Amino acid sequence: MKKIKSDSRPLYRQAEQALTELLQTYSPGDQLPPEPALAQSLGISRATLREAMRNLAEKGVVTRRQGRGTFFNGPRLRIDSGLEALVSVDALAQSQGLQCSTTDLEITAEAADPDVAAALRLAPGDAVTAVRRIKVAEGRPVAYMVDVLPRSIATVEEVRAGFAGSVLDFLLARGRPVPSHAAANIVPLKAGRELAGRLGVSAGTVLLLLEEVVSTRDNIPINYSRNFFVPQYFQFHLLRRIPG
């Protein structure tokens, strides 16, 4: 390996990238060289190397076995998406050759709390239909999703009859009203005990929360969603252009 040429990033991030490039030449189950040799090859301290290794272990790229060494786990499950496209996780996974399924599905009639009411332009207490579920890809929980629709858009019975894993796909297939666009925010959020249990991660694990309101072409909100993604399985990106 070539020694790291320092840039503006933290050194452990540069080491993580160098190790990721090295692992592209490995096969699943291969053992990495001892830490002293790796640190010397990269021209960094063992403390910096350990920080980079810890990040790779948290992402599931490598497994560190006490007294035995560090082993490469093989290609990672990752769903890649541009934030410009309004598309369901199910459709994304399918387009990338991954199997995506739904577990722990709950479809219930509820009263809108103040946050939901504000997002959907309802009065607090108005009737809504909530859809909660865990998304599983390649046998692993990757996201916990909550969608809320005004009951005037869809009742519990209507959703149950047409739901196949995605509320967005349900709305698109039904076509009345037609989803047009979504206003979204994405923020990091630490998982509480209940959410961590649903996703099979440790409490305090940082998740990505994608909160969005889907609207019609006439800017009528029809769906409010809060989607909690396990970051190691997702990569979101955005194409930015120079104005004009």
Range of the domain at 41: 11-72
- Residue 79 to residue 98: CA distance in whole angstroms: 8
Residue 7 identity: D
64/122 same-domain check: no
For the chain, list residues with pLDDT below 70: 1, 6, 74-77
* Number of domain units in the chain: 2
107/186 same-domain check: yes
Residue 8 DSSP label:
S
- Residue 80 to residue 95: CA distance in whole angstroms: 10
Say what the pLDDT of residue 99 is.
80
Tell me the two tokens of residue 137. 């890809």
Say what the pLDDT of residue 213 is.
98
Say what the pLDDT of residue 151 is.
98
Residues 90-144: pLDDT tens digits? 988 887 777 889 999 999 999 999 999 999 999 999 999 999 999 998 778 999 9
21/99 same-domain check: no
- In a domain, residue 5? The reply is no
Say what the pLDDT of residue 46 is.
93
Which helix (H) or strand (E) segment is 89 a member of?
helix 89-95
Say what the pLDDT of residue 105 is.
98
95/110 same-domain check: yes
pTM of the predicted protein model? 0.70
- Residue 88 to residue 91: CA distance in whole angstroms: 5
Would you tell me the crossing angle of helices 11-23 and 35-42 to the nearest 10 degrees? 110
Say what the pLDDT of residue 83 is.
81
- In a domain, residue 243? The reply is no
- In a domain, residue 51? The reply is yes
The reply to whether omega before 141 is within 30° of 0 (cis) is: no
Among residues 23, 38, 72, the one where a domain terminates is 72
**Count of residues making up the chain:** 244
